[in-house]
Amino acid sequence: MTTEKIAEFIQSCKVAFLGSVDKDGFPNIKAVYAPRKIDGFTFYFSTNTSSLRVSQWRENEKACVYFYSKGWFSYVGIMLTGKIEVLTDQEIKNEIWRMGDSMFYKGGVTDEDYCVLKFTSLHGRWYKDLKKGDFQVE
Amino acid sequence: MTTEKIAEFIQSCKVAFLGSVDKDGFPNIKAVYAPRKIDGFTFYFSTNTSSLRVSQWRENEKACVYFYSKGWFSYVGIMLTGKIEVLTDQEIKNEIWRMGDSMFYKGGVTDEDYCVLKFTSLHGRWYKDLKKGDFQVE
């Protein structure tokens, strides 16, 4: 897959899977909504400041993001490893806020329980059907 | 969710997501077909002996398995953390082999590139819509 095809595929996904490493060294996985903002291979997600994963990434920034789709005949999986920063500044919170979010954050866009995860890719790997390869991220 | 409901949900999933930790300490995620055999919260998957993940679990047995479904109104995610053992003995290879597998393993059920991942759960966590909780695995 070319880097362009990979970026297109990622934009078509409605769900992403985030990986973290817990305090005992076990990998953890969680499904989240698609990134609110995509800047090359940097992704911004909204989440709860009080969540278990936020505390894990504050301790250990190592992370991965996985995008996949499975049809009857074709399977695509894209894995990016990198780091996650937990952002709480109002500017980025305003930027990725969407109207329906007040269902999850009663205090609205300034709710202290609303924060932003910024994932920066270091390395990429793709799988398509029985083929696979690595790709560069910048 | 009760443990019975969780077990039922897992049996209904066609895909699972496996987590590992790579040599540099980054979490890795991969989608795989549903377990071939389920024994309580112990799961058996078939995979390629030569795959990157097999080499990761041989170095570091810490793992997680994630099952999820997302409908229009309901979202369920089940995460189990535990350990993965790579089994190559012929008895278990015979037990979980299915006819179509020769498409992936040209040498058939004795192919050296065909092996079994045995995941043993240590801890469970469920999410359903906006609720979550931990559960015991035995």
At A95-107, the pLDDT tens digits run 999 989 999 899 9
Substitution target from B20, B29, B52, B104 for chain A, most A beta carbons within 10 A:
B29
Rg (chain A; Cα; Å): 15
Q: How many CB atoms lie within 10 A of CB A76?
A: 20
Among A1-5, A18-22, B60-64, B76-80, the minimum mean pLDDT is found in A1-5
Nearest to B64 among A27, A66, A68 (CB): A27
Closest CA to A136 of A38, A11, A2, A13: A2
Which positions in chain A have a beta carbon within 8 angstroms of at least one beta carbon in chain B? 15, 17, 19-22, 24-31, 60, 62-64, 66, 68, 70, 75, 77, 79, 81-82, 104, 127, 130
Residue B90 C-alpha, separation from nearest chain A C-alpha, in angstroms: 25
**pLDDT beyond 90 at B92:** yes
Closest CA to A19 of A92, A70, A79: A79
* Mean pLDDT value across residues A90-97: 97
In the predicted model, is pLDDT for residue B72 greater than 90?
Answer: no
- Is the complex ipTM higher than 0.90? yes
- Of A28, A30, A104, nearest to B81 by CB-CB distance is A28
Quickly state the pLDDT bin for A88 (edges 50, 70, 90). Answer: very high
- The pTM of the full predicted model, rounded to 2 decimals, is 0.94
8-state DSSP, A34: P
pLDDT at residue A81 is higher than 90: yes
Return the structure tokens found at B36. 């071939």
Torsions phi, psi for B50 (to 5 deg): -80, 0
Helix (H, G, I), strand (E, B) or coil at B58: helix
Among the listed residues B101, B83, B94, the one whose alpha carbon sits nearest the alpha carbon of residue B47: B101
> Hey, are the CB atoms on A30 and B79 less than 8 Å from each other?
yes
CA–CA separation, A74 and A111 (whole Å): 42
- Phi, psi of A29, rounded to the nearest 5 degrees: -130, 145
Q: What φ, ψ does residue B101 adopt, rounded to 5°? A: -65, -25
- Answer whether residue B83 shows pLDDT above 90: yes
Burial A17-44 (b: 16+ CB within 10 A, else e): bbbbbbeeebbbbbbbeebbeeeebbbb
Q: What is the pLDDT of residues A22-65, one digit of tens each?
A: 999 999 999 999 999 999 999 999 999 999 999 999 999 999 99
State the CB neighbour count (10 A cutoff) for residue B74: 9
> Mean pLDDT, to the nearest integer, of B104-127?
96
Look at residue A72 and tell me whether its pLDDT is greater than 80: no
Residue B127 has pLDDT above 90, yes or no: yes
Q: Is there a contact between B70 and A27 if contact means CB atoms under 8 Å apart?
A: no
CA dihedral over B85, B90, B91, B97, signed as positive or negative:
positive
3-state secondary structure of B13: coil
Distance of CA A7 to the CA centre of its chain: 14
Identity of the residue in A17, A26, A62 whose CB atom sits nearest the CB atom of B29: A17
Average pLDDT, chain B: 94
B63: its two tokens: 């793992």
Which chain B residues have a beta carbon less than 8 Å from that of A68? 31
Check B29 against A29: CB less than 8 A apart.
yes
Whether pLDDT at A120 is above 90: yes
What is the reported pLDDT for B126? Answer: 95
The answer to whether the CB atoms of A81 and B22 lie below 8 A apart is yes
